[in-house]
Amino acid sequence: MCQLLGMNCNVPTDICFSFTGFQQRGGGTDHHADGWGIAFFEGRGCRVFLDPEPAVQSPVAQLVRSYPIRSMNVIAHIRKATHGRVALENTHPFMRELWGRYWIFAHNGSLEDFDPPLDGMCLPVGGTDSERAFCHLMQTLRARFGDHAPDVAALFAVVRDWATEVAKHGTFNFLLSNGDCLFAHASTDLAYVERQAPFATAHLVDEDVAVDFSEVTTPDDRVAVIATLPLTDNERWTPLARGELALFEHGKRVDLA
């Protein structure tokens, strides 16, 4: 199984602490050694670091771990190849542009018999079921809303209906962001934690590292972290239910229902 990591904040925040534990799952404390990637939104721009090498050995991962890029929306992925060979073009997360914004997508799971017609506005470059699903989502959004981005409630409704359909083909845990908000969909394992004042010390599961967030935050900061499995062993993580789509904005979960 692949590993997903997402972060959504109300102020630009670095992900070094969470990434330190997450990186260990790419060939260290777990078996996901078929490449990894991470995308950071900074304003409208987005930086994607990809590496088909295992994360624990990767000099690119070392850079990400030590160079604090501050971002309000981050999506990371460590891959265990199922569909599609180990290659850069099959390394998540994937990026496309729609409505003049970048969109980032990463998927954990495997889809069977998922081969929807694609009209050419967005086509997969690699051979994964994941990128095919992402292209189908971009096409679905463009077909539904035309040339103009909808509000977040309308977007949420369409993403939810689409995810429900695609999830009939298999395991479909995914993270999706356009730089403004972050969507998380669970088929099996996905959990989140919301951090806000009063901040406390968090301790990683995968490595003996702790950080006192009260020393590195202001009272108004809010951060939501979403991961396949909880990254810390002394915080309250909330699992998503099977088939649930969660929306995170400004560092917290938003209920649109």
Q: Give how many residues touch its own copies by CB under 8 A.
A: 37
Question: Alpha-carbon distance 15 to 225, whole Å?
Answer: 9
Q: What x-and-dash track marks residues 203-232 binding its own copies by CB under 8 A?
A: ------------------------------
Least Å distance, CB 201 to its own copies, is: 28
Q: Is 202 exposed, middle or buried (0-12, 13-18, 19+ CB in 10 A)?
A: buried
* Helix segments in 116-203, DSSP class H: 129-145, 152-166
Among 12, 28, 83, 89, binds its own copies (CB under 8 A): 89
Residue 168 per-residue DSSP state: G
User: Judged by CB under 8 A, does residue 102 bind its own copies?
Assistant: yes
Q: Which of 113, 147, 151, 208 binds its own copies (CB under 8 A)?
A: 147
Among 13, 23, 91, 140, the residue binding its own copies under the rule CB under 8 A is 91
Residue 193: partners with Cβ closer than 8 Å, 6 or more residues away: 224, 225, 230, 232, 235, 236, 237, 238
How many helices (H) and strands (E) the chain has is answered by 4, 15
d(CA 228, CA 164): 19
| Residue 117 is a binding residue for its own copies (CB under 8 A) | no
Take residue 253 and report the two structure tokens written for it.
């979960």
By CB under 8 A, residue 86 contacts its own copies: no
Q: Which is nearer to its own copies, 91 or 110 (CB)?
A: 91
Among 123, 143, 197, 210, binds its own copies (CB under 8 A): 123
Asked if 181 is an active-site residue, the reply is no
List residues binding its own copies (CB under 8 A).
42-50, 52, 59-60, 63, 66-67, 87-91, 95-97, 99-102, 120-126, 142, 146-147
